[in-house]
Each structure stands twice: as structure tokens, then as C-alpha cells.
Amino acid sequence: MNLKQQFKEGLLTKNPVLVQLLGMCSTMAITTSLFNGIGMGLSVTIILICSNVLISALRKVIPNQIRIAAYIVIIAGFVTIVDLCLQAFLPDLSESLGVFIPLIVVNCIILGRAEAFASKNGVVASALDGLFQGIGYTVALIIMCVVREFLGSGTFGGGILNGGEGIRILPEGVPAMLMVMPVGGFLTLGCLIAGAQWLVKYLDKKEKAKEAAK
């Protein structure tokens, strides 16, 4: 178990949003305010960790023929718990995220990590994989939220700071409302993916140069 490698993969080289291009539906829909990004990111991270741990613990018990169905049942259980907790303790966030919390059940990130990692590795390694993949997902969402909120609304910290209205940075009328619409999400995501790909290739070349110099 290589913690540094797992962290690097979750944050950058195998980032679920910027590299693997998973969970695009929720990524495009909810990244209009910092409140949404943090809430969705933490929800997915908690579900990732919990489902990875349980699936890893049961990996030798679950029959191979019904493993996908079993994974979905496990994931659905944790999604229901998180959804009910949000409704009880953070109703504003629950209302803002809407249907995208229940849809985590079929989020490719959760099911993908269950099939690719948790079903083949131990409990501790699976828990760390869920944590690091969740961190990578959350960071990607937060970056998109900050960019789209700033350019589209002219504010920062919407839903959290200044009574939920966010701190106004640009005067009203200056921001491009296009950025909080779907097309703004596509443009922001495209630029972030391009930047992530450049950074991955740069780091790869740098690592190969170090190995060649030894």
C-alpha cells in the first residue's frame, strides 16, 4: 500500500472528474456555488469511504455473478443515510442539491471504485482509496464552483459567507451570467481538464527524466 501514490492518483493522475471523466452529470449541474461544491464533495467522499470499506470486507462473500447488484444495494444504503442526514441537519443544502444526492447511487465514481479497487483490496487500503478519490472529486468541484460563481455571479462563498449571499467581488451587471448556465459548466470543465492533462504529462516527463539521470 503506497499512500503517496494513492493520494497522487486521487488528486491528479486518476482524478475522477478531470482524468477519468466520471460523475459528469452532478459536476455540471451543481457547481454554481461554493456551498453546493463542498456539500456534494463531502457527501460523495463519505459514501465512497463507507461503501469501499463494506464492499472490501464482504468481497470474499459476495458471489461474482451478482456482485454489481450487491454493490448497488450497499451504495444505496449509504446514500439513503447521507440523504436523510442532509434533510435533517442541512435542509438548505439538501434542497439545493436536490435529486443529485439520490443519484449518487448510480454515480460511476462510486461503482467504479467498488469494482476496480475495493473488490480486490483490503479494508484499510479501500478506505484510503475512497478518501483520496473523494478528495480529488471535492477539489475539482470546488475549483469549478469558485470559477463559475466568480465569473457568473461576481461573488465568492455563495451559500456560506455573508448570510449565504457570498462576498461580492465584481459589481452587479459585470459578471457573465452565461457561466452559471450549462454552457459555462462545459467551458470551465474543458479548461480544467486541459490544465490537468498538461500537468499530468509534465509530471510524468519530470519523473522519467529523474529515472534516466540515476
Q: What is the pLDDT of residue 1?
A: 63
Residue-wise pLDDT for 117-138, tens only, equals 999 999 999 999 999 999 999 9
Please, is 36 exposed, middle or buried when counting C-beta atoms within 10 Å of its C-beta (0-12, 13-18, 19+)? buried
Cα 167 to Cα 13: distance, rounded to the nearest angstrom: 33
pTM of the model: 0.93
- Return the H-helix or E-strand segment holding 57: helix 34-57
For residue range 188-201, list pLDDT tens digits in order.
Answer: 999 999 999 999 99
pLDDT tens digits for range 85-116 = 999 999 999 999 999 999 999 888 999 999 99
Longest CA span, the chain: 59
* Contact between 36 and 86 (Cβ < 8 Å): no
Within 13 Å, how many C-alpha atoms sit on residue 152's CB side?
23
Domain ranges of the chain: 3-213
pLDDT (0 to 100) of residue 146: 94
| Collapsed DSSP state (helix, strand, coil) of residue 154 | coil
Task: Decide: 79 and 47 in contact? Cβ < 8 Å.
Answer: yes
- Distance linking the first and last C-alpha atoms of the chain: 25
Check whether 55 has a pLDDT greater than 90.
Answer: yes
CA distances to 42, 119, 184 from 177, rounded to whole Å, are 27, 44, 9
Averaged pLDDT of the chain:
92
User: What gap in Å lies between CA 190 and CA 197, rounded to an integer?
Assistant: 11
